[in-house]
Amino acid sequence: MKRNTWQILMVLWTMVLATQSVWAQMEIESRRNIDARIPIAVPPCASEDPALAALATELAQVVADDLAFSGLFSVLSADRYPAGFTALDPDVQKLDRDLWASTKAEHLVFGNLKQDGDQLVTEFRLFDLFTKTQVFGLLLKVDKKFPRLAAHHFSEQIILNLDGTEGIGTSEICFSAGATGSKEIYVADYDGANVKQVTKHNSISIKPKFSPDGTKIAYLSYKDRYTFLYVFDRITGKSVPLSKEVGLNIAPAWSPDGKQLAHVLSKDGNNEIYLRNADGTNLQRLTRNRDVDTSPVFAPSGTHIAFVSDRGGSAQIYSMDLNGENVKRLSYQGGASYDPAWSPDGKFIAYVAEKRGDGLEIYVMNADGSSAQRVSNSQGSNESPSWSADSRHIVFSSTRHGQKSLYNFSLESGEERKVPRISLSSEGPSWGPRRR
């Protein structure tokens, strides 16, 4: 074949690739402009007890907020309810499904509340307004002290039934909060409700990490003068030392089964990554080099650890086998990279990248290091990303408005939102599992 023929073919092939790229870009832009969310109506719950009227409205709002937060649903505003609507009748048989279908909502949430001693009895149903049939129902009893939990449970099941992936309404976040020189560990619902202080060391306690079952929190504290690691047991309310080696004891990370923790020690003169049992026994060293290795995090499979190292000249994200072998660099987007967090489904790693002029921003890449994308967008410092149990959301801390606060990013909708209801200066969040 003559050379000019090759050149013609190469030009044609380039044009084909360019055309495919244009069509792909058009498809992406088109999807962004289409609202694919499921329209759903969530009116205030019904109740025969007037004393529960305010709570009936609150719990319906909790369900609505959970669904809206997921990025999968468009919640019908009250001004689009059927004309003359005042309240749901506690008798579900009197529900006018045809009337609600006229609102153009595809689904309707029906809720009914009763009180039984110290328990709240919640009856929730989800209706398909196109077929006029019930999708599923849920009868829950919860302590009167935790009424929102029932609504969170129901929202999780709605998302599971309509999307195939369970929601995260019952999950919690833990974080460090307080003024300079005095920080304690706190726990709150994922939406910022029910904030509770869990440590009272009158010192600096930071970087908490939920155990996989949510019953324990590993954290760093100066309460005994030096940087030691501790584990707070949420059942007993007690903190016990995990690591009190000479030098630094930092960056705890739970194994997926909760039986081990990786962490960083400087006892041998350099920051290295170690592994030990959750009770503090059986210390094993994983990294051995003269450069700084830190911030370990387990892959959900438990077979790999992502970590930060400056062995290449600047801080970057690497991965290694559980025995410390087969080290591979993952981050290449430019600038230093920190704080890796592996998504629960194993597909992604969120991390912090420092780029000239941009400060610290949150990025997400595939678990093999490909397709890195910036997901936060501010002039402040954005740090400490942590994934929700459904791998659809990331919580992180940011200084974009001065005081350190917690924010969420949704991979589904691309939205960033401040975690509401938390007024304290907050940092270093960890997103826990769903509560059962």
| Per-residue pLDDT reduced to its tens digit, 366-408 | 999 999 999 998 878 999 999 999 999 999 999 999 899 999 9
Whether 70 and 159 have beta carbons less than 8 Å apart is answered as yes
Whether 202 and 185 have beta carbons less than 8 Å apart is answered as no
Structural class in CATH, domain 172-431: mainly beta
Distance CA 417, CA 71 (A): 12
| 3-class state of residue 121 by DSSP | strand
User: Could you tell me the strand order of the sheet in which 336-342 lies?
Assistant: 336-342, 348-355, 359-366, 373-374
The two structure tokens encoding residue 394: 């990331």
Nearest to 397 by CA among 384, 386, 409: 384
Structural class in CATH, domain 38-163: alpha beta
pLDDT value of residue 9: 33
Q: Is 392 exposed, middle or buried (0-12, 13-18, 19+ CB in 10 A)?
A: buried
pLDDT value of residue 33: 54
Whether 364 and 394 have beta carbons less than 8 Å apart is answered as yes
pLDDT value of residue 281: 96
Distance CA 429, CA 436 (A): 21
Residue segments in the chain with a per-residue pLDDT below the cut of 50: 1-32
Domain positions in the chain are 38-163, 172-431
Within a 10 A sphere around the Cβ of 242, how many other Cβ atoms?
A: 22
pLDDT value of residue 355: 77
The two structure tokens encoding residue 13: 């092939």
Nearest to 285 by CA among 319, 325, 247, 314: 325
Enumerate the H helices of 311-375 as residue ranges.
none
The two structure tokens encoding residue 94: 């009197």
Whether 416 and 407 have beta carbons less than 8 Å apart is answered as yes
Evaluate if pTM is beyond 0.85.
yes
Contacts of 195 (CB under 8 A, 6+ apart): 186, 187, 188, 421, 422, 424
Within a 10 A sphere around the Cβ of 21, how many other Cβ atoms?
A: 10
DSSP assigned state of 92: G
